[in-house]
Every structure is written in C-alpha cells, then in structure tokens.
Chains A and B, each alone.
Chain A
Amino acid sequence: MPKRTLDRLPLRWTLLDKLEAIARFLWPARLRGATGWLFITPALLLVGVLLIGLGYMIEYSLHELDLSTYRLKDAYTLDNYVFLVEQPVYLRVLLRTLLAATLVTAMTLFLAFPYAYLMVRTPSSALRKFLLVSLFLPFFIGQVVRAYGWLIILGKEGIINTVLLKMGLPALDLIYNYGAVVFGLVQYMLPFAVLLIVPAITAIGEDIELAAESLGANWLRAFWHVVLPMARPGLVGAGVVVFTLSMTDFAMPEILGGGTTDFIASAIYDSFFQLSNSGLGAALSIVLVTLGSILVAIVFRLTGAGTLSIRQ
C-alpha cells in the first residue's frame, strides 16, 4: 500500500502552503469576521473618492464667478442656481435631456425584450451564438467611433444620401437633429438592456409558458399575464441603467446632434471649458445628479430594484 503522505510535496503545493502561512500571520483567524471588509475596501475607497469629488462640486456650486479675475469669489451664494432657474435655455436643455432619455429607454426596452427572449428561447444554438456575437460586437467598437460611423452612413455626403442623389431623389437631413441623437443612443444602449433582461427571462421556466398555454392562454395572453410580469425585474433594472446612461450621455448629442441637441452633459462641459465658469458647471452637475437620483429612487420605490436588487 502506498504511504499516505508524500516525503516531498510538489513545489506548487509547498509554495501555496508558505503563502497561506504568511497570510495567517498577517491576518490571524481572530480577524476572520472582517475578511469581507478587507475585500470591499478598494471599491469603498473608489466610491469614497467620488463622494469627496461630489463634496467639492457642491462647494464650487455655492460660489459666484468673479468676472474680473475669472476665479470663484469667496462668499457663499445661491446665485448659480438662481441663474439656472432664470435662464430659460437651461430648463429647455433639461427637459430635452429628460424627454430624450425617456424616449430612448422606452424604445430600447421595446427592442431589447424580443431580442433577449429569442436569444434565451431559440432551440437553434447557431442562432443563439449569432445573436450573442451581434450583441457584443458593438461593445468592442466604442461609443465615439460608433457615432462617427453613423456620420459616414447618415451624413450630408454619407452613403444613404449618395444613393438617394444617384436615384435622382433629394438628399435628406438625417443627422444633426433630435431623431439622430435618440437613434444613436438606442443603438448604443441596446446591448446593455439585452444583457440585463436575459437573466430575467432565463429565470422564467419554459414550463411556465407551456402551463399558461394549456390553461387556455394564447401566446399574447400568456405574454401579457405571465411572461411580462415575471420579467419585470429585468425590465426595471435595464430601464434604470439605460435611463441614467442616456440622461448623462455626452458623445452622442455632441457628435450626432452637432450642437443642435445639447444635453445637460454638454451644458456642463461648456460651463467648465467654454465659459470657464466652474461654479455654474458644478451647479448644473449637482442638479443632474440630484434629479437622476430622485428619479431612480421613485422607480425603485414603485417597482422594487428589479435585477439590481439583492432581495425581491
């Protein structure tokens, strides 16, 4: 019979044992309850830095710009916020942003749901792979490159207009407008939404749908009464992510809007880097963060946090 233990352990085992001994020395068993904290500390630090930044932003937003020195005055004031309220252009930008984010969210969910459903339910593994690859491909391209890609296709001298002119038809204004920005954002958000909806649909057993059918529901009713309510966590999670990403987006309105369709992010950028008014920019940022947080809180309040929550 072979001996139970080896005289010489493989090198890898010896090294691992040494490492474990060091770890035991540095982190005695007494501290085991705190191990979880040890691992989330880096993430907490990152979030903490963000919070510090936010604190500075609040501080900046409370000082007015001194036009003679182009520095912020020392006195505390709400003038920046008053300015935002008094200038109708900011309200317009804000409403435009919110409306666009709402439209983008609705359209993205509408398109993403069938995509995710098909990806989960198709019996053909070839189709599933195709859908998955098509989903991830845009991720590798990046937002800015993609937006420029749309310029090449939709622009004044882009592919579509070239074809139209060749056919003797008038050229169309396909870019530098609201529609183009919304379109670009939907296209950008689709993969995020699909990825967030897929687990929700996977969690609905196929038997559930068959049960609904055998109980007398045609597919439309089964979808409405069973699939949709059961997929709600996924839809809520995807909706919140898409809405917040759209509301804070910068590149799409910049590139596809061409200055006609500025979002809040553009206004913030302009305040900081065109007007050099960091107080105003900070105030706008705070408005954006507050508004976004309130909207997300309302949604969570009404529907639960969906896929993003730990417990339901």
Chain B
Amino acid sequence: MSTAANMVEIRNVSRAFGQSVAVDNANLTLQRGDFLTIVGPSGCGKTTLLRMIAGFDEPSRGEILINGQNVASVPAYQRSIGMVFQKLALFPHMTAFENVAFPLRMRRFNPALIPELVDRYLSLVKLDHLAARRPHQLSGGQQQRVAIARALSFSPDLLLLDEPLSALDKKLREEMQLEFRRIQQELGVTTINVTHDQREALVMSDHMIVMDEGVVQQSNTPREIYNRPGNRFVAGFLGVTSMFKGRVSAIQDGLLSVDMGGVTMTARGNDALFSIGDAIDCAVRAEQITLLEEGAQARENTVTGLVRQRIFEGDRMVYEVRVEDMNDSSLYVFDHNPGKHGEHDVDTTVRLGWNAESFYAFPVVK
C-alpha cells in the first residue's frame, strides 16, 4: 500500500448533466485519518461528488486521486471505499451478520476469519446481540449501525457517508452523529460525510466544505468557516443570520464605514474587494447582537428598532426586530436569559448593539 500524504485529492473536477453543471471545478485534499464534511443545500451537487469518488459516476473533467493513485480506470468494486447510503441500502434478504459479511466474502477474505471480523464490527456498533436479525426487524438507528459496520468491515481506505442520518428524528440523529464520530476516531478511518445539516457539519468534522450550486464556496475548519464566512452565501447558510443592504462611505484598515439608510455603521471586510460608493451586503449573526438595557453603553453599531415577533424556544427567546434606520430591514436577536431583565413585548422599542468585528461586509453578487 502506498502512503501518499493525502488520502483523497480532487483536482478541478466537474460533472455536467447536459446543460446543467452539478459539480463545477471542485478541488479538495483530505489527509489520512481526517473527517471532512461537505455541507450545502439540497441539490448543490454533494451526492454527485460522492458518486464520482465512489466510482459510480465519472467526472466530465478533472481527476480524482485516492491514496495517491488516479482512479479514473478503477471500477467501483475494486476501489477500497465503504459507503453508507442516504437510504442505507441494506440487503433485506440477509441478516445483519450476512450484511456485514458480504463485503468480506466479495473481497475474498479468508472464510475462517470472517465470523470473527463480523463480530468485531458488530460489537463496535453495539449490535453483536442482534446479528441474526433481518433489516426489517431492526429499528432505524440499529439499521444505521448495520450499514456503518458493513461499510467498515473490510477496512476500506475511505468511508463515504451520503446523508445517512437525514431520515432520523432529531434526538436519534444527534446521538448517531456522536456515535459516528466515536467510531471514526476509534478506527482512524478517513471519512467524507455529506449533509445539508449545518449543525452536523459543525459538530462532527475536522474539516468542512460549504458547497452551493456545484461550486465549493469555502473550505476550512468548522470554527474558521463559522467565524470568518468567506462570502455572502456561507454567512447566510450557517447560523441565524440577518442581512442588510448598504453603501461604502469610507475604507480604513479592513474596516468599512457603511451607509445603511438612516445610520452609518462599521463593518469588517477585505479592503481589496471594495471601493467607496459600492453597494454591499452586510451580515450579522443573531448571537452576536446584544439587547442593550436602559443606560447600557453603546456598541460600535447601535440601533433602535420595533419588536415584530417574540418566539419562545425553551432555552432562549428569539426576537424579530424591524429597524427603520436600516432601510426597514428585519433582524433576529437571541435572549438566552429572558428571566433576568424581563421580556420585551411586541411593538415596544428595543435598543440593539453589535461590534464591527461581527458585522461582515460582502460585495453584492450580481
């Protein structure tokens, strides 16, 4: 086995279906043992990209290297890749044991070793006691576990997960996210996970790629992407984000003065992208906005607005506030401790503030 530093390398890969481009010039590298999550809205090309890596589909352009080897001419059944499908695709006519043994038999493992290997992987997913059950006799979560054991039992170089958790209810899904992460770390298997669930992407991965309309929008650690969204799409996709239109009135050291309609605010952005007079989009996350009490000190950006809606979410209160001075835009703000200073009623006035550091400026996308 070669020991290339990068387990997966994707170079300028595109895939077009007739006129429509499902994946547009994607690049990524993934190191041995890493957990990468590709996140993006439904239809952005995630499955298409995974299918090309797995060998079910070929790129229209570009190349895919696995373990340092160009796999263009390697059929799917000869690639060392375990895949867990969106609909699991367990074999209904086989027991859990037979499902997990299937890749071992197909890959001609020594038959004497197969039962032991199957046991080991069924124990890893805590299903050894249900080995004799058929898939339809297992719960949704248990089926997930069989699917993952089956994808791992032959020690593949790479594990691909195509939204296998999307059909589960929230609680089970979050449990399985941690479970997948535990297994992945225990085995150290290089993994690409695909999801449209931003929380899953943030929770599970070492590396994260945000995709939209077939294009990789940003690629970095979850923390870095969340805190420094590279463009308007990424800012809006992650977290609860409010967007505003504005016009640049001054630029200095990465800080922009922005005319928001009635007020001028300070936002952060890359100097090189803007010039004075440009129309821009500004974004702020709900958790970065503070509800300012009477007499509290103003922030770098402070406005007053009218409460339009109050939503009780248990652990927090969410307010939708309309700000006249910002072209009548609405913004969302959280109050994590509503008991402390009382609730704000609908149609009352509130004062809000946030720092320039958390106010991202992006060029308007044409």
User: Which A residues contact B (CB, under 8 angstroms)?
Assistant: 205, 207-208, 210-218, 221, 225-226, 229-230
Contacts and interface: CB of A to CB of B under 8 A. Distances in A.
Nearest to A206: B89
Contacts of A225: 102, 106
Contact of A214 (B81, B87, B91): B81
Contacts of B85: 207, 210-211
Contacts of A226: 91
Given A207-B89, A229-B93, A230-B92, A213 B102 contact: no
B102 A205 contact: no
Given A205-B87, A207-B87, A210-B56, A215 B93 contact: no
B150 A215 contact: yes
Given A207-B85, A207-B86, A207-B87, A214 B54 contact: yes
Interface in B65-123: 75-79, 81-83, 85-87, 89-93, 102-103, 106-107
Max chain A CB contacts within 10 Å: which of B89, B150, B154? Answer: B89
Given A225-B102, A230-B92, A230-B93, A218 B75 contact: yes
Given A211-B85, A213-B77, 15 more contacts: A205-B89, A210-B54, A210-B76, A210-B83, A211-B83, A211-B90, A212-B102, A214-B56, A215-B154, A216-B103, A216-B154, A221-B106, A225-B102, A230-B91, A230-B93
Nearest to A232: B93
Interface of B: 54-56, 75-79, 81-83, 85-87, 89-93, 102-103, 106-107, 150-151, 154
Contacts of A221: 106
Max chain B CB contacts within 10 Å: which of A211, A213, A225, A229? Answer: A211
A216 B81 CA distance: 9
A190 to B, nearest CB: 27
B76 A213 contact: yes
A215 B92 contact: no
B91 A208 contact: yes
A214 B92 contact: no
Given A207-B85, A226-B91, A230-B92, A215 B102 contact: yes
